[in-house]
């Protein structure tokens, strides 16, 4: 497609050069005819032009004009030759106007070429849309053929139906005639039946009246017998109720006697209750004093624990807090780095980003889904790494930042204290760690705290990928993440469990981390199985575990041996948060590599075609030479159409990515 476009530009350039040469040749012929009549006279006396100089009207060199004078030296000289300059100036002005018109037409054609180039870039998308529509044509054609066959069948059936309709109409007419005859006969028969029916109805009415009378008399007798039976049953029920009432009165007397006995017992119990109430008051007074002592002792114990022991919180608390931080990192990375890049940003990012990061090297800077997912993964990796290196280190505080001599010394002391696996050493480690952490938290903060350090370190890496207009919002969200990380880490260091954070994901610890499925593909979910020592895993969130000491199970002593004074401890590892990683061999990274290779091939192809086009333009220009004449002195010569297109197209062409 680009080659066809180049050929069109060459044809346009040839057309412009050809029309320009024809106009110049016509002007040369006109100037030569006019100069031939004045050659001999100019040889004797030069005629001044309207600018006060010697005017040469031939469109060529001086030798050309002298040759024309010698060839037509015998021609008679017109006495009004010096005054015949107006037509030549008119011709020159018309030629210059036509030249300007041709230049405007060339500019319009250049704009049309640029528009055609824009349409050519849209061709792949239109072709893809055309192929999709073409795929939909076949089932629709099949459906149309079926509908056509159905229509033809229905038409045949409709023709048969028309014949049937005509036959039905004929049958209706015959039936109408028959029905008229039948109606007449029925009217006569109905009159006869009415007379017979009236006689039968009168007889049936008499029978029905007799039957109803007999039935009503029978029903009255049945109702009378039922009423007599109900009266007898009511009398029986009244007798039963009177018997029950006499029994209840007898029972009521017995209940009153029992109530009197119970009242006497209640009075006795009330006396006993008063005695017991006095004892209870004495017990409550003693209990209240005992509780006050317990509260005071509890406060003292709490002060001692705050000073000399670590605080124990449920592990669910830390699981929830670290999960919230991980989700917050994902949300912030998606919000600020999952945006669509412009062509200028995509071109500049290739030069500004860190070329040493392997994940960023595999990231194509475009508007594709792979580019968006890889940029989000890179941002999550940078933020998690900053939190780990600045905050999530042993004895981390604003006074003793990770990597300082103070933090290194404290970590070495803790390691030495933990080497001994007995209860005395464990208690000493707990006491020393609690006192050290509280001392670090009570110290005044340094000039630059950990939040500012995290924000600066992240911005130093991610600022090229960040939109400057939302930089302040990103700083605020990043500061909130850092504060949350500091808060949970302070609680973790003050806890009785030993928290360990590992940001290295590899084959050896696949049980403690899982891949991040950005596009929801099943292969990314199972990519841990294909991890080897040669495959690099990018850490998007570190592994967080905790270790706690539990007593070893007691073994029965052998006969004749002494019991052990100290029971050894065993270390139990508990998973707090799974690490999140992205393997180098995952589908997302591989698709990013393929897209970047395709973009590189496209750029190389475009650069090669651009060099070929420039070489062809320079070759075309090298075979022509410029002329100097009166018209070129008056009107500045514009650049060629190809040069104008190259100068304009260079600014309007899509930016290389």
Q: How far apart are CA 207 and CA 211, in angstroms?
A: 6
> Which range in 12-26, 258-272, 610-624 is most confidently predicted, on average pLDDT?
258-272
pLDDT at position 538 over 70: yes
| Residues facing residue 580 across a β-bridge | 514, 541
The confidence band for 10, taking pLDDT boundaries of 50, 70 and 90, is: very low
User: What is the pTM for the complete model shown?
Assistant: 0.47
pLDDT at position 322 over 90: yes
CA distances from 44 to 39, 58, 69, 78, 568 (A): 9, 18, 11, 14, 131
User: Mean per-residue pLDDT for 249-269?
Assistant: 83
Query: Helix 471-493 crosses helix 423-442 at what angle (to 10 degrees)?
Result: 140
pLDDT at position 570 over 60: yes
User: Mean per-residue pLDDT for 591-611?
Assistant: 80
CA distances from 311 to 492, 495, 498 (A): 9, 5, 12
Q: HSE-up of 403 (CA within 13 Å, CB side)? A: 6
CB atoms within 10 A of CB 550: 9
Q: Which of 527, 514, 511 is nearest to 579 (CA)?
A: 514
The confidence band for 622, taking pLDDT boundaries of 50, 70 and 90, is: low
* Cβ–Cβ < 8 Å for 84, 33: no
Q: How far apart are CA 333 and CA 383, in angstroms?
A: 9
Q: Which of 457, 477, 451 is nearest to 336 (CA)?
A: 477
Q: How far apart are CA 471 and CA 473, in angstroms?
A: 6
- Quick: pLDDT tens for 30-71: 444 444 444 444 434 444 443 444 334 334 444 444 444 444
Q: Which of 310, 484, 458 is nearest to 389 (CA)?
A: 458
The least confident of 250-264, 302-316, 324-338, 462-476 is 302-316
pLDDT at position 478 over 90: yes
**CA angle (95 as vertex; 90, 99 as ends), nearest 5:** 150
CA distances from 53 to 41, 240, 344, 625 (A): 16, 158, 55, 27
**pLDDT at 561 (0 to 100):** 52
Q: pLDDT: is 654 or 589 the higher one?
A: 589
**pLDDT at 477 (0 to 100):** 93
Phi, psi of 571, deg, nearest 5: -95, 125
Q: How far apart are CA 515 and CA 15, in angstroms?
A: 63
Q: Is the dihedral of CA 303, 304, 308, 312 positive or negative?
A: negative
Q: How far apart are CA 524 and CA 514, in angstroms?
A: 10
User: Mean per-residue pLDDT for 569-584?
Assistant: 84
Q: HSE-up of 573 (CA within 13 Å, CB side)? A: 9
Task: Determine what percent of the chain falls in helix, strand and coil, rounding each to the nearest 5.
Answer: 70, 5, 20
The confidence band for 350, taking pLDDT boundaries of 50, 70 and 90, is: low
3-state secondary structure of 370: helix
* Cβ–Cβ < 8 Å for 31, 627: no
> Which range in 90-104, 228-242, 245-259, 578-592 is most confidently predicted, on average pLDDT?
90-104
| Residues facing residue 583 across a β-bridge | 537
Phi, psi of 541, deg, nearest 5: -160, 135
- Quick: pLDDT tens for 423-451: 545 667 767 776 777 777 676 655 458 88
CA distances from 606 to 122, 440, 610, 617, 647 (A): 16, 61, 6, 16, 17
**pLDDT at 360 (0 to 100):** 64
**pLDDT at 563 (0 to 100):** 52
Pairing state between β 543-551 and 498-502: antiparallel
15 token code pair? 């057309």
Phi, psi of 514, deg, nearest 5: -140, 155
Q: pLDDT: is 21 or 335 the higher one?
A: 335
Label residue 362 exposed, middle or buried (CB < 10 Å: 0-12, 13-18, 19+). Answer: buried
- Quick: pLDDT tens for 192-222: 787 787 778 878 877 887 887 788 788 888 8
Pairing state between β 579-583 and 513-515: parallel
| Residues facing residue 549 across a β-bridge | 571
Give the list of residues 6+ apart from residue 534 with CB closer than 8 angstroms, or none. none
Q: How far apart are CA 496 and CA 549, in angstroms?
A: 10
Q: Which of 91, 84, 35, 95 is nearest to 61 (CA)?
A: 35
* Cβ–Cβ < 8 Å for 642, 14: no
* Cβ–Cβ < 8 Å for 322, 544: yes
* Cβ–Cβ < 8 Å for 542, 579: yes
pLDDT at position 453 over 60: yes
**pLDDT at 648 (0 to 100):** 38
**pLDDT at 331 (0 to 100):** 93
CB atoms within 10 A of CB 360: 20
Q: pLDDT: is 57 or 291 the higher one?
A: 291
pLDDT averaged over every residue in the chain: 73
The confidence band for 359, taking pLDDT boundaries of 50, 70 and 90, is: low
3-state secondary structure of 580: strand
533 token code pair? 């020592």
The confidence band for 78, taking pLDDT boundaries of 50, 70 and 90, is: very low
Give the list of residues 6+ apart from residue 567 with CB closer than 8 angstroms, or none. 423, 551, 552, 554
pLDDT at position 325 over 90: yes
Pairing state between β 513-515 and 537-541: unpaired
Q: How far apart are CA 630 and CA 103, in angstroms?
A: 18
468 token code pair? 């400057």
Label residue 393 exposed, middle or buried (CB < 10 Å: 0-12, 13-18, 19+). Answer: buried
């Amino acid at each position: 497609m680009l080659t066809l476009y180049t050929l069109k530009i060459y044809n346009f350039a040839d057309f412009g050069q050809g029309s320009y040469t024809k106009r110049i040749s016509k002007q040369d012929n006109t100037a030569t005819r006019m100069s031939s009549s004045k050659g001999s006279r100019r040889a004797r006396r030069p005629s001044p032009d309207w600018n006060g100089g010697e005017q040469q009207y031939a469109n060529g060199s001086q030798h050309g004009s002298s040759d024309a004078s010698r060839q037509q030296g015998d021609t008679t000289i017109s006495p009004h030759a010096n005054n015949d300059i107006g037509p030549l100036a008119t011709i020159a002005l018309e030629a210059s106007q036509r030249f300007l018109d041709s230049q405007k037409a060339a500019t319009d054609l250049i704009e049309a070429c640029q528009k055609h180039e824009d349409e050519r870039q849209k061709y792949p998308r239109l072709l893809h849309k055309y192929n999709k529509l073409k795929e939909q044509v076949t089932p629709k054609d099949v459906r149309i053929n079926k509908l056509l066959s159905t229509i033809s069948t229905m038409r045949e059936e409709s023709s048969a139906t028309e014949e049937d309709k005509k036959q039905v109409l004929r049958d209706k007419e015959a039936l109408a005639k028959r029905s008229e005859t039948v109606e007449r006969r029925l009217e006569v028969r109905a009159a006869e039946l009415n007379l017979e029916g009236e006689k039968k109805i009168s007889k049936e009415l008499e029978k029905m009246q007799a039957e109803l009378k007999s039935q009503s008399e029978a029903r009255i007798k049945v109702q009378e017998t039922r009423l007599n039976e109900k009266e007898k049953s009511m009398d029986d029920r009244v007798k039963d109720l009177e018997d029950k009432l006499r029994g209840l009165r007898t029972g009521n007397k017995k209940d009153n006697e029992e109530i009197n006995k119970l009242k006497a017992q209640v009075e006795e119990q009330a006396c006993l209750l008063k005695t017991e109430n006095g004892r209870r008051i004495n017990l409550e007074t003693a209990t209240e004093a005992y509780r006050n002592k317990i509260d005071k002792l509890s406060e003292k114990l709490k002060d001692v624990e705050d000073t000399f022991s670590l605080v124990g919180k449920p592990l669910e608390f830390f699981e929830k807090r670290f999960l919230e931080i991980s989700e917050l990192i994902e949300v912030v990375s998606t919000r600020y780095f999952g945006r669509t890049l412009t062509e200028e940003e995509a071109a500049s990012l290739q030069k500004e980003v860190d070329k040493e990061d392997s994940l960023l090297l595999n990231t194509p800077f475009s508007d594709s889904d792979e580019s968006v997912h890889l940029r989000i993964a890179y941002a999550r990796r940078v933020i998690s790494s900053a939190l780990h290196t600045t905050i999530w280190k042993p004895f981390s505080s604003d006074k003793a930042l990770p990597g300082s001599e103070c933090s290194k010394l404290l970590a070495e002391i803790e390691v030495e204290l933990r080497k001994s696996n007995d209860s005395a050493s464990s208690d000493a480690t707990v006491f020393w760690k609690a006192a050290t952490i509280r001392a670090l938290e009570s110290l005044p903060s340094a000039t630059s705290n950990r939040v500012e350090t995290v924000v600066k370190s992240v911005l130093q890496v991610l600022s090229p990928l960040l939109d400057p207009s939302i930089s302040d919002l990103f700083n605020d969200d990043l500061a909130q993440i850092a504060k949350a990380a500091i808060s949970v880490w302070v609680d973790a260091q003050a806890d009785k469990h030993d928290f360990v954070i590992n940001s290295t994901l590899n084959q050896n610890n696949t049980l403690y981390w899982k891949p991040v499925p950005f596009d929801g593909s099943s292969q990314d979910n199972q990519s841990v199985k294909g991890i080897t020592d040669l495959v690099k895993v990018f850490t998007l969130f570190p592994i967080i575990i905790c270790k706690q000491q539990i007593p070893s199970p007691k073994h029965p002593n052998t006969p004749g041996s002494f019991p052990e004074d100290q029971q050894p401890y065993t270390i139990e590892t508990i998973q707090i948060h799974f690490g999140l990683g992205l393997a180098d061999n995952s589908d997302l990274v591989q698709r990013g590599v393929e897209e970047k290779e395709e973009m590189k091939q496209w750029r190389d192809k475009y650069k090669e075609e651009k060099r070929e086009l420039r070489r062809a333009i320079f070759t075309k220009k090298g075979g022509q030479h410029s002329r100097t004449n009166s018209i070129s002195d008056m009107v500045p010569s514009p650049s060629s159409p190809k040069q104008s297109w190259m100068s304009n197209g260079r600014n309007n062409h899509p930016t290389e990515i």
